[in-house]
A and B are shown apart, each in its own frame.
Chain A
Amino acid sequence: MNRELFELNTTISNMKDLMASDLDPYDAIYLGNPFCRDYEANFLEELDDLRVGIRHCREAGCKVYLSTYAAPRNYFMPQIRRAIGVAAEEGVDAVEAHNLGVVRMLRTEFPAVPIHIGGFANVYTDTGAAVLGDYGSVRVTPNYELSLEEIEGMAKSTGLHVEILVHGKMPLGISDYCFLLEYEKDWGMKCPDLCQQDLFLRQGEWAMKSVGKGVLSGRDVCMLEHLPHLVAAGFRFFRVESISEDPAYRRDVAAVYREALEEVLNGAFQLREGWWEKIQTHTKVGLCNGFYFGQSGQLYIGNQQSAGFGETSARPSTELGRMSSVEPLSRAVNNQLRVIS
């Protein structure tokens, strides 16, 4: 395995999920759920679990990163400080900050801990990334709305490592409010079980997955067939976002990407039907490329005919639906590729 040539990582919220997960396809694991303090046994709250979890990942041969809350108020900060303290004691490889206040805390109180900037931090510009670099950040996940062209430019101009989401449901925002709590009585189910259910918001063919205090894209971002381009462009840090997925998804999707990335780096990449079959098994709504090709996030651009697989339904009849028509290809996209909405 090319353990040194690239990094494939994912996010795991708690000990239960960690112990149920096969970490073999991964090089690194982010521990902690950035959405909600009440998420069941969140590593960010259960610090004994965090300690054990870090050791478990290490024993599995993975680097370990601590993720932190996406939108912390003042009263979150003491607990974040405690969690980073435990992680630092255990020699965690980095802490992911989605928030300027956490970046500043890391810089001033934990200067030896490398900082990764997460996708909620709103890094849109080279200058923004550079500012965070000045505060000790070594890696940045740019905002999801940026195109590959822009991300490549950011990596070149700042010299920072850039991490990108290659597969999984893309976060579309963070909320103060969990509307799932409104259903506790009707569903006979309470927090923290609610947000772990299979919950989608749908309008026609469009879907978003609810995770309580935020939503994820219903379609999974999939960059499998574009991996040669990503590697050629110099990207080496890849995330499979499995925070809301089951262990089988976490294992199977990453195994496909691991194999594919190794083939890319060995110069022998060829898309295999077996990979798509595996991806299809875990795709509920369909695939998209996020914003990587300078388009709306829900489009799939590529040659894979079955990219629209997953559940299907009639086109939406609302105004929102009519606005979703396929738009012209970005100048950044090879005109030979197909758009599958």
Chain B
Amino acid sequence: MSLTGRGILLAPGGSVEASKASLEAGADAVYVGLKGWSRGGGRGELTSGELIQVLALARNKGASVQLALNTIPKGHEIDFLVERLRELEAWGIGGIILNDPGILARIHQCYPDFPLTASIGCGALNLGDVALLEEIGASCVVLPGTLDPAEIAEIRPHVKAQIEVMIHMVDEFHQLGKCWMPSFYRTNPSPMPEMPADGERLTGSIKRGGAGVCFKVCQQPWGLYFNGQHVDERMLPARQVSRAAEVSAYIEAGVDVIKLQGRSLPVEQVFSLVQRFRMALDQARDGRQVAGVPPFELPRSWVVVGR
């Protein structure tokens, strides 16, 4: 089942239990990572066996599963991935989330009917970005929740691709998909799980190893020096974006999919997060003002570290 219609709630599934919690809390679809291939990092990925379990759970709920294959593999790894998709497609996956326009274009050529989502890491921010990604094969493009509904309303009439907005996310200092601070300090090549050849995951690189291992560089205390003089001790700014109250505005702007970040959240928090947005979305669909949505408390360590 692919994502169709507007106002689909796409929730995180960092584990079988978290996927179950998302589905029970009312998600229309869950997105999960496959070990070694997912930007969510090692803590938020599933083995093939676990993926099959989640597919069964979703099927029972009439929901869809999106598979995040959104690290950027290297040449021979891409060949392996393209072949592997033949098997994954047969399992009934609703679509693939990809992080590189080139890989997206190639997979679209090989599997023209497979729904492909251009991940937030593709960096789309404007109409031209979305249009180009659509032209090369994306059936859905993810935009950050830092974009206002009015900006999305400007894009919507000009593209056919679905527009997905991550309206619950950590807005870090550097934009998602445009940060190389962690790998500047450290990279740690490690074997790629579930890959028979010499696959390599570049831990430390957000794009090539997964965000779950970004070493928290921006959340370290940094001394700020002005002309060589220490003037402050600070972290780089980051904030939680969680725009449940604006769900109606996003839907009216033409957003098709409401996405929630959080594949490494504890199961109980996934449930309450998804429940909160389910309530907001249902109110919006009924034409009601979003109200009474319970606040969502994040663990202190979640910001940046535990997306």
Contacts and interface: CB of A to CB of B under 8 A. Distances in A.
A74 B148 CA distance: 11
A280 interface: no
Nearest to A187: B226
Given A125-B102, A175-B175, A202 B123 contact: no
Contacts of B177: 122
B103 A127 contact: yes
B125 interface: yes
B99 to A, nearest CB: 9
Given A145-B208, A153-B75, A77 B178 contact: no
B237 A177 contact: yes
Interface string B225-237: 1111001101011
Interface string A63-76: 00000001111111
Contacts of B246: none
A217 B183 CA distance: 11
A128 B106 CA distance: 9
B205 interface: yes
B17 interface: no
A201 interface: yes
Contact of A296 (B102, B127, B136, B183): B183
B220 interface: yes
A231 interface: no
A103 B132 contact: yes
Given A100-B133, A323-B186, A122 B123 contact: yes
Most chain B Cβ neighbours within 10 Å, of A124, A208, A210: A124
Contacts of B234: 179
Interface string A176-187: 110100010011
A275 B74 CA distance: 37
Contacts of B186: 296, 323-324, 327
Contact of B72 (A124, A200, A324): A124
B90 to A, nearest CB: 24
B173 interface: yes
B125 A131 contact: no
Most chain B beta-carbon contacts within 10 A, residue among A125, A210, A291, A298: A125
Interface in A76-130: 76-77, 99-105, 120, 122-130
Interface in B149-184: 151, 154-155, 171, 173-175, 177-181, 183-184
A320 B178 CA distance: 21
Interface string A158-187: 000000000000111111110100010011
Interface residues of A, number: 68
A247 interface: no
Interface string B95-124: 000001111011000000000000001111
B185 A324 contact: yes
Contacts of B123: 71, 99-100, 122
Interface string A186-222: 1100000000011111110010101000110100000
A127 B102 contact: yes
A143 interface: yes
A175 B106 CA distance: 30
Contact of B225 (A127, A172, A200): A200
A3 to B, nearest CB: 33
Contact of A198 (B183, B222, B228): B228
Given A173-B175, A320-B217, A320-B220, A206 B126 contact: no
B35 interface: no
A128 B102 contact: yes
A310 interface: no
Contacts of A327: 186-188
A150 interface: yes
A318 interface: yes
Contacts of B135: 104
B185 A320 contact: yes
A99 to B, nearest CB: 7
A126 B78 CA distance: 11
B294 interface: no
B125 A71 contact: yes
A10 interface: no
B226 A199 contact: yes
A196 to B, nearest CB: 12
Contacts of B208: 124, 145
B14 interface: no
Contact of A201 (B155, B178, B223, B228): B223
Contacts of B74: 125, 150
Contacts of A199: 224-226
A70 B180 CA distance: 14
A130 B27 CA distance: 37
A327 B217 CA distance: 18
Contacts of A145: 180, 183, 202, 205, 207-208
A22 B127 CA distance: 39
A337 B100 CA distance: 33
Residue of B102, B227, B234 ringed by the most chain A CB atoms within 10 A: B102
Interface of A: 70-77, 99-105, 120, 122-132, 135, 143-145, 150, 153, 170-177, 179, 183, 186-187, 197-203, 206, 208, 210, 214-215, 217, 291, 295-298, 318, 320, 323-324, 327
Interface of B: 72, 74-75, 78, 100-103, 105-106, 121-133, 135-136, 146-147, 151, 154-155, 171, 173-175, 177-181, 183-188, 202, 204-205, 207-208, 215-217, 220-228, 231-232, 234, 236-237
5 contacts: A100-B122, A143-B180, A201-B236, A217-B184, A296-B204
Given A125-B103, A175-B173, A187-B226, 4 more contacts: A103-B128, A127-B106, A153-B75, A172-B184
Across the A-B interface, the 3 shortest Cβ-Cβ residue pairs: A101-B128, A128-B102, A127-B102
